[in-house]
Amino acid sequence: MIDITLLGTAALVPLPDRALTAVTLTCAGHTVLFDCGEGTQSAARKAGVSLMKADLIALTHYHGDHIFGLPGLLQTMCCLGRTDPLYITGPAGLKEELAPILKLAGWTSYELKLITLPDEGLRLAELVNGWPWEAKLTPFSTEHRVPSQGYCFTLGRAGKFMPQKAKDLGVPMNQWGLLQKGQSVHLDGAVILPEQVLGEPRKGLKFVFSGDTTACPALTKAAEGADLLISEATYGENEQAGTAVDHGHMNFAQAALTASQARAKLLWLAHYSQMIEDPQEYLPNAAQIFENTVCGQDGMSVTLSFEKD
Amino acid sequence: MIDITLLGTAALVPLPDRALTAVTLTCAGHTVLFDCGEGTQSAARKAGVSLMKADLIALTHYHGDHIFGLPGLLQTMCCLGRTDPLYITGPAGLKEELAPILKLAGWTSYELKLITLPDEGLRLAELVNGWPWEAKLTPFSTEHRVPSQGYCFTLGRAGKFMPQKAKDLGVPMNQWGLLQKGQSVHLDGAVILPEQVLGEPRKGLKFVFSGDTTACPALTKAAEGADLLISEATYGENEQAGTAVDHGHMNFAQAALTASQARAKLLWLAHYSQMIEDPQEYLPNAAQIFENTVCGQDGMSVTLSFEKD
């Protein structure tokens, strides 16, 4: 089960009802924050999401409207006495780009660890205890005007547990849980592997966040079969397709085409230019191409659950 | 006439209905912004105040909750094509403290000028054309845990113009305005001084902003007879007087005592700790001491006008 909350849908300039970019993903009580525009703290409070226990902040790029909420958030975490390390990741240039932000944030009561995610993705359990073993975050390069990356979060799901097989193999019941979680069990010198007691792996969950980018093959590939794609959709009009490309962005139609090509299940649009007063007005431009498109709004959230067996 | 708008009343942490510290003062179409906590842009939009034409940002100190809105605001001004120089002032350390903020803001389409105000105050017309000659901003040292200052804005008011005297002195009517504005007029080698055609100076307007500070003589002196004092009031309870002093702040009662001793006309409280859920609950602690106390709220504004003759 994954909870996704879209905290802000504004591009460039914050508006009273539209905060700058930030999205949270919570799973098994642990949270990743994607981007942190100015006002993210306040938007999270409004949405009833706690950022205090976020383990990782995953930045898509270093433009101000995606990162200027960091100094305040880092200080608040300190004021509230955080001691757990906080990881921050992002595309090339992380250390240099964050230097003035860390300078502003000043001393923190917790360790700040700047990390680069491996191309093949990182099991979040390897970073912080408590994340499901199957939770993995994979960055992918996007095409903006500066180094940028999107993120693909997957929650794998093991095959159905077959108790009879475990019994037959002589695994004590108190170790069944380990096998169900995908871990091996050592038994009198023998090693019992999870696949020995589990059925075929089942469909897991996938969430993809585009960050700022033009429509590009890497995004389509990452979003393949995603349960939810949150995509930037800076411009509303179909006629703005060229402008969008020139500025390293997408319009509604381009975002929808990406979702359609990727056979995603659900598309939320976000990162609206302030020229877009009411995103709903432009929704048909996307929905004609990908029916299951929703105009994202600040505070909107969804729970993604495994399919029923 | 001066318009004052209190944009944010939160201390330390922004809340959904309580932005961090920022106050605007507008006079003759020109604006000073006092402090710029995270969320100031959004709060200004909500309050219907334009920050784009602010000439000067006057910082009371460099704690994050008073300055983290700057990088975003500076970038927005740039995005909107500002070309007029922007002045920023603050207490000791301005250049060093703002260095990471200017680094984050990056290149700007306008000149950013960091200035130190003289102790005796600065006529804003000397900084930017268009401010009334009588508008003056004077800093005063306050007592916080770091270098800090409050600000006293005064709008002087010349004596009543006596047309007959101007006529008698042979001043052409098209030059009366200069004399009324307090400027001298050269006439066939002679110099006509404003005081030759004006009555006794009349009561002007005074606005004082405390910034973060304990109650201190400099604040009381600056607020002497102020038409409006916006004072920090971090704590609500009378029993928190000692805590307030220890942390370089005031409680409601201390702010009220300052207003009372200064014989101010009106006191607005602001900068509430997040422990204060409803400031009204603690209002009696202030109103008992200074009747004309109002609990400041985000977006509250007032127009201060000259007394009727």
Q: Give pLDDT tens digits for B92-149.
A: 999 999 999 999 999 999 999 999 999 999 999 999 999 998 999 999 999 999 999 9
Return the pLDDT at A213: 98
Nearest chain A residue to B45 by CA: give it: A16
Q: Are residues A151 and A187 in the same domain?
A: no
Read off the pLDDT of each residue in A2-30 and give the average, rounded to a whole number. Answer: 96
B122 plus B252 within the same structural domain: yes
The whole-number pLDDT of residue B53 equals 85
A271 and A297: one domain?
yes
CA A138/CA A129 separation, integer angstroms: 18
Is B65 designated active site?
yes
Q: Are B156 and B191 within 8 A, CB to CB?
A: no
User: If you average pLDDT over residues B20-36, what whole number do you get?
Assistant: 98
| Residue B182 pLDDT greater than 90, yes or no | no
Q: Does residue B309 form part of some domain?
A: no
Burial of B243 (0-12, 13-18, 19+ CB in 10 A): middle
From the list A10, A16, A69, the residue with the least C-alpha distance to B104 is A69
Range B197-217 average pLDDT: 96
Amino acid B248: pLDDT: 97
Residue B188 is predicted with a pLDDT of: 84
**Do A128 and A80 fall within a single domain?**
yes
- Indicate the burial class of A46 (C-beta count within 10 angstroms; 0-12, 13-18, 19 or more): middle
Q: Which of these, A9, A6, A25, lies nearest to A17 by C-alpha position?
A: A9
User: What DSSP state is assigned to residue B240?
Assistant: G
Is there a contact between B14 and A71 if contact means CB atoms under 8 Å apart? no
Selecting among B65, B212, B227, B298, the annotated active-site residue is: B65
What average pLDDT does this structure show over B14-31? 96
Cβ <8 Å between B42 and A16: yes
Is there a domain that residue A266 lies in? yes
**pLDDT computed for residue B134 by the predictor:** 92
Confidence of residue A309 (pLDDT cuts 50, 70, 90): confident
pLDDT surpassing 80 at residue B155: yes
Percent residues over pLDDT 70 in chain B: 100
Q: Is the Cβ–Cβ distance between A39 and B42 less than 8 Å?
A: yes
Same domain, A112 and A224: yes
Q: For residues B87 and B187, state if they share a domain.
A: no
Q: Are residues B165 and B71 in the same domain?
A: no
Q: Are B103 and A102 in contact (CB under 8 A)?
A: no
Q: Is residue B97 part of a domain?
A: yes
CA distance B261 to B219: 10
Q: What is the pLDDT of residues B4-19, one digit of tens each?
A: 999 999 999 999 889 9
Has residue B309 got a pLDDT over 80? no
Q: Is residue B108 part of a domain?
A: yes
CA atoms within 13 A on the CB side of B96: 4
* Residue A60 located in a structural domain: yes
Counted across chains A and B, CB pairs separated by less than 8 A come out at 86
What crossing angle do the helices spanning A94-105 and B94-105 adopt, rounded to 10°? Answer: 140
- Which residues of A fall within a CB distance of 8 Å from B46? 16
Mark which of B143, B172, B199 sits at the end of a domain.
B199
**Domain end (from A167, A199, A231):** A199
Q: What is the pLDDT of residues B269-293, one digit of tens each?
A: 999 999 999 999 999 999 999 999 9
Is residue A182 over pLDDT 90?
Answer: no
Same domain, B41 and B154: yes
Beta carbons of A17 and A298 less than 8 angstroms apart: yes
Buried-exposed string B126-155: b where 16+ CB fall within 10 A, e elsewhere = ebeeebbebbbbbbbbbbbeebbbbbbbbb
B142 and B268 in a common domain: yes
Whether A309 is covered by a domain: the verdict is no
Instruction: List residues in chain B touching A: CB distance below 8 A.
Output: 12-16, 19, 38-39, 41-42, 45-46, 64-65, 68-69, 71-72, 75-76, 79, 99-101, 103-106
The percent of residues above 70 in pLDDT, for chain A, comes to 100
Contact list in A for residue B38 (CB cut-off 8 A) is: 38-39, 41-42, 68-69, 71-72
SS3 B75: helix
B99 vs chain A: nearest CA distance in angstroms?
A: 8
Q: What is the CATH number of the domain that holds A43?
A: 3.60.15.10
Contact B41 A105 (CB under 8 A): no
Do B14 and A101 make contact, defined as CB atoms within 8 angstroms? no
End-of-domain residue from the set B199, B222, B253: B199
Same domain membership, residue A131 and residue A231: yes
Position A166 scores a pLDDT of: 93
Residue of A nearest to B12 (CA): A76
- Inter-residue contact B100 to A100 (CB < 8 Å): yes
Say if residue A48 is in the same domain as residue A166. no
Q: Which residue in chain B is spatially nearest to A43 when comparing CA positions? A: B16
Locate A152 and state its tokens: 């693909």
Which residues constitute the domain of residue A224?
Answer: 2-158+201-304
pLDDT of residue B158: 85
Closest CB from B64, B79, B103 relative to A71: B64
B298 falls within a domain: yes
ipTM: 0.92
As a whole number, mean pLDDT of residues B79-98 equals 97
Nearest-Cα distance to chain B for A67, in Å, is 10
Query: In angstroms, rounded to a whole number, what is the distance separating the alpha carbons of residues A233 and A212?
Result: 9
Q: In terms of Cα–Cα distance, which of A76, A75, A78, A25 is closest to A54?
A: A25
**Is B293 a member of any domain?**
yes
Structure tokens at A116: 């680069």
Instruction: Decide: residue A264, CB within 10 A, 0-12 exposed, 13-18 middle, 19+ buried.
Output: buried
The mean pLDDT value for A266-270 works out to 98
Instruction: Give the per-residue pLDDT at A183.
Output: 84
Instruction: For chain A, give the mean pLDDT.
Output: 96
Domain count, chain B: 2
Share of chain A above pLDDT 90, in %: 93
d(CA B132, CA B294): 29
SS3 B254: helix
**Same structural domain, A74 and A171:** no
pLDDT at residue B163, rounded to an integer: 93
pLDDT at A188: 84
